[in-house]
Chain A
Amino acid sequence: MPKLNGGEIIIESLKKENVDVVFGYPGGAVINLYDALYNSNMKHYLGRHEQGVIHAADGYARSSGKVGVCIATSGPGGTNLVTGLANAQMDSIPLVAFTGQVSSSLIGKDAFQEADITGISLPVTKHNFLVTDIKDLARTIKEAFYIARTGRPGPVLIDLAKDVTQAVAEFDYPERVNLPGYKPTFEGHKLQINKAAKAINDAKKPLLYVGGGAVISGAQAEIRQMVEKAKIPITTTLMALGIYPEDQDLALEMLGMHGTQYANKATLETDLLIAVGARFDDRVTGKLEEFASQADIIQIDIDPAEIGKNLDVEVPIVGDVKRVLKELLPYIEEKENGAWQQRIKELKEKYPLKYEDDDSETIKPQYIMEEIDKYTKGDATIVTEVGQHQMWAAQFHKYKKPRQFITSGGLGTMGYGLPAAIGAQIGQPEEKVVLIAGDGSIQMNIQELGTAQAYNIPIKIIIFNNKYLGMVRQWQEFFFDKRYSSTKIPAPDFVKMGDAYGIWSKSVDKKSELDAALKEAMEHDGPAILDLHIPEEENVYPMVPAGAGLKDMIGG
């Protein structure tokens, strides 16, 4: 068996896990690992900040469906990963993060750049490890990848004492893992599946409520068959936009706080809610007591802890969503559900998503989304930051396939979008990747423009510039009598900023000039920035105030 140093063992282990792309930022405690990278053919993307690095790995994981890998040094390198870990944890994104640690003899001595990153990251990782003996290194990496990608995926952190990356050992990558305390359930319980089938066949007004778990599981084909076989309308969470094409009759698009009126009204009328890989988040349900109160609930989820966490359900099924649906489908009777289909059609006609526009030169954000949808023929991967623009991007673009919409859902991390778009583009080199950003969010990790430029990542950055932290401003308008406390935010000149980074940039404030600018940006060979000036006080409608029931929607 070959003798390798710790850094080389990590590279060889990554190859065994079919990793060919890593994101990282070097430092003293990981210098041996970087030395090993120097000789390898592993593609390494150098970010500009560790937060950018981990969000890029996250965006890569979401767009490619693979495990994202990132590297940071000890101390501040590790602590800068924390937001990215929490973000991945909330949205169940498979990541393996390597951090350097001071040498094992120095641990606990407040050494230079020492931070207890396994302690710090404990609540925001699926699991983490501290490796202080090179004999444990290969096995730990094997376990980390297995834990990150199986069951309900999530981020796993491996903290590496510096001496471990220096030490030399035989490289022997284990074939399988031995984790007696970790045995995810993949197969659904037969009896429960039969129960679910009966409930679905008996239901008059069934409704599918599909979340990110279905995307992770790759269940789009099964979802589609389910919808079409028994004519079951489908609404999705922010995390599952596109799992079923949104231009279809039975698609109700997103539900919840900023969901469509027709999706929310359908939840009030349904007699059987079929939750698939969704977790009844407060932004989805509003007031829990009122959510789907007429309905029995079937909940399919791989994580048993999600069953009944927020809401009691009649038919729980623990298992991998795709496998469970596959088992369930043969028992589902073909049906027309005529009256219910008719009602859904009525709801869609009566309460469409809408916004006010006129013939003036004002550029409405909703209009921009529609234009992007048109220009890209609805095929682009849309990545967002967090805020009003994120909701407009979710609402006014028809998504057609899973992994087409990449966004920070659970944690709502401003600053996620730019690095995630870079990672998403690397994960899907053939796709057009468009970042929808707010002028506030984009400034949170703006340094990653340097990464986009350095590797010529051809993302198209569309900034919805309203000179406000718009979502908070909207809440202040509605609930705090327009007392705009600290939400006015001066933006830099984004065109000059783009120039400074050597990125093609343009600013537009007239509707008549939008299409030409959009075309120019989209066709530009390389990254591009479009700074679009939108009305300062445009609101996101419809809206369910926090804590209210879905029946109490405002506007739209």
Chain B
Amino acid sequence: MTHILSVSVLNKPGVLTRIAGLFSRRNFNIESLNVGKTENPEISRMTIVVNGDEKVLEQVTKQLHKLINVLKITELDKNSIVERDLILIRVKCTRKQRSEIIQIADTFRAQIVDVAPDSLMIEATGTEDKLEALTELLRDFGIAEFVRTGTVALSRGQAAK
């Protein structure tokens, strides 16, 4: 069972270490952790995807709250959020395969961001499921390199619920 936590933290040196360290020493599993500045430069937002049951989630939340630089923790309800992941994939391809790959990319609303004689780089955003489906399809051509940001997410506005 995965849970998405949105955590606001004071943007102090070492805050990422404090959070990552907490997860490892308490034996919690992080699926992904994403951190970036917010509209307020003193505050960063982390999106943490945690693996575990409700009990684990409760402990994770409580232990995070004990960190002095953690301001707020919200568990995001998967039904009322926008959740995105960004992926860059460099796929091996021959000249013949190029148009087929571009077609696949189009289907996923992905973009071709680099073209080389023997490879293409694709940029895609979306939910984890979508990106996994895309990766799966491209695997047949041979994936040369691959990088993913991990999930970032925000709650939808009230009206959209």
Which residues on A are within 8 Å of B, measured CB to CB?
A: 118-119, 122-123, 126-127, 130, 147, 179-182, 303-305, 307-309
Q: Which residue of B lies closest to A308 (CB)?
A: B58
Q: Which of B21, B65, B67, B68 is the most central at the interface, judged by chain A CB atoms within 10 Å of its CB?
A: B68
The 9 closest A-B pairs by CB, nearest first: A305-B62, A127-B68, A181-B71, A182-B68, A304-B62, A123-B25, A181-B70, A305-B63, A181-B68
A309 & B14 in contact (Cβ 8 Å cutoff) = no
With a cutoff of 8 Å between Cβ atoms, the chain A residues found around residue B67 in the complex are 181
A122 & B18 in contact (Cβ 8 Å cutoff) = yes
- Bound form: Cα–Cα A119–B14 in Å: 8
Expressed in whole angstroms, the minimum distance between the Cβ of B9 and any Cβ of chain A is 8
With a cutoff of 8 Å between Cβ atoms, the chain B residues found around residue A126 in the complex are 68
B69 within 8 A of A: yes
| Secondary structure type dominating chain B contacts | helix
- Bound form: Cα–Cα A123–B14 in Å: 12
Q: List 6 A-B contacts (CB under 8 A).
A: A123-B25, A130-B13, A180-B10, A181-B10, A305-B59, A305-B62
With a cutoff of 8 Å between Cβ atoms, the chain A residues found around residue B69 in the complex are 181
Knowing A122-B18, A123-B25, A180-B10 touch, does A303 contact B71 (C-beta < 8 A)?
no
Knowing A119-B17, A122-B17 touch, does A180 contact B71 (C-beta < 8 A)?
yes
- Bound form: Cα–Cα A119–B21 in Å: 10
Expressed in whole angstroms, the minimum distance between the Cβ of A143 and any Cβ of chain B is 8
Interface size class of B (residues with CB under 8 A): 20 to 34
- Bound form: Cα–Cα A309–B10 in Å: 26
B21 & A122 in contact (Cβ 8 Å cutoff) = yes
Which residues on B are within 8 Å of A, measured CB to CB?
A: 9-10, 13-14, 17-18, 21, 25, 55, 58-59, 62-63, 65-71
Partner of B14, one of A118, A179, A303, A308: A118
Expressed in whole angstroms, the minimum distance between the Cβ of A128 and any Cβ of chain B is 9
A179 & B68 in contact (Cβ 8 Å cutoff) = yes
B21 & A123 in contact (Cβ 8 Å cutoff) = yes
- Bound form: Cα–Cα A118–B66 in Å: 17
With a cutoff of 8 Å between Cβ atoms, the chain A residues found around residue B62 in the complex are 304-305, 307
Expressed in whole angstroms, the minimum distance between the Cβ of A510 and any Cβ of chain B is 50
With a cutoff of 8 Å between Cβ atoms, the chain A residues found around residue B13 in the complex are 130
With a cutoff of 8 Å between Cβ atoms, the chain A residues found around residue B68 in the complex are 126-127, 147, 179, 181-182
With a cutoff of 8 Å between Cβ atoms, the chain A residues found around residue B25 in the complex are 123
- Bound form: Cα–Cα A474–B41 in Å: 58
- Bound form: Cα–Cα A305–B65 in Å: 9
- Bound form: Cα–Cα A307–B59 in Å: 9
B65 & A304 in contact (Cβ 8 Å cutoff) = yes
Add 9 more A-B contacts to A122-B14, A123-B21 (CB < 8 A): A126-B68, A127-B68, A130-B14, A181-B9, A181-B10, A181-B68, A181-B71, A182-B68, A305-B65
- Bound form: Cα–Cα A305–B69 in Å: 17
- Bound form: Cα–Cα A309–B63 in Å: 10
With a cutoff of 8 Å between Cβ atoms, the chain B residues found around residue A182 in the complex are 68
- Bound form: Cα–Cα A123–B18 in Å: 8
Expressed in whole angstroms, the minimum distance between the Cβ of B43 and any Cβ of chain A is 10
Expressed in whole angstroms, the minimum distance between the Cβ of A121 and any Cβ of chain B is 11
With a cutoff of 8 Å between Cβ atoms, the chain B residues found around residue A180 in the complex are 10, 71
- Bound form: Cα–Cα A147–B69 in Å: 12
Partner of B66, one of A123, A303, A307: A303
With a cutoff of 8 Å between Cβ atoms, the chain B residues found around residue A147 in the complex are 68
A308 & B55 in contact (Cβ 8 Å cutoff) = yes
Expressed in whole angstroms, the minimum distance between the Cβ of A305 and any Cβ of chain B is 4
With a cutoff of 8 Å between Cβ atoms, the chain A residues found around residue B18 in the complex are 122
- Bound form: Cα–Cα A309–B60 in Å: 10
- Bound form: Cα–Cα A182–B66 in Å: 8
With a cutoff of 8 Å between Cβ atoms, the chain B residues found around residue A307 in the complex are 62
Q: Which residue of A lies closest to B70 (CB)?
A: A181
With a cutoff of 8 Å between Cβ atoms, the chain A residues found around residue B10 in the complex are 180-181
